[in-house]
Amino acid sequence: MKKEVMVKPEPAPLNKRVFAYVLDWYVGSAVSAIPAGILWNMSTGEAAVNTVLAAFESPYGLLAGILGILAGALYFYLIPLCVWKGQTLGKKLMGIRIARENGEMLSAGELALRQICGVMLLEATFIMTGDFLIQMVSMLTLPIAGRMLSYVIFAAFAISVCMVWKNKTAIHDMWVHSTVIEMKKD
């Protein structure tokens, strides 16, 4: 009787991961800004999209931030969970997907930890969801707290970039033992 050996899939090429990240940064930020834009338009009548939460009348800035983070969760979490298994739009276009290190799909909880806590919040230096989080911390505490949080988030992002460059594993991948792999061609 032969024992089946599970082959660990190779991580997707770095260029595909970077391109997918940049595209997802742009699309995810745009999706996250939609609620703030709608609330700003409803409260001021202006057609511009305002993402400066402190410019809203209280409590609408906090509401815009919360709704923006929820909209980001729709893009970064629900789409890879329910629509394109393991893929955001950027990953779909690049033919790559999020998976466990053995190639299996992540559970809903693992994907939430990776995508919401890791990608959207901790590594969100340039993503609107991270900006909303920093702005809300500043609004609810002191501006220095938001500034300090932005430094922590930037440091986590820088560390993650270095880790990806060195060993192809980002912080959020380490947390749930995930990786980004190429889709199998049939």
pTM: 0.80
160 with 74: CB under 8 angstroms?
Answer: no
pLDDT of amino acid 165: 64
Per-residue model confidence as pLDDT tens digits over 7-23: 677 888 888 988 998 89
Q: 131 CB contacts (<8 Å, ≥6 apart)?
A: 51, 124
Distances 13 to 17, 75, 156, 165, 168 between C-alpha atoms, Å: 7, 23, 22, 11, 9
Helix or strand holding residue 92 (H, E): helix 89-94
pLDDT of amino acid 2: 60
Domains of the chain: which residue ranges?
A: 14-182
pLDDT of amino acid 5: 56
List strand residue ranges (DSSP E) for 61-163, in order: 96-100
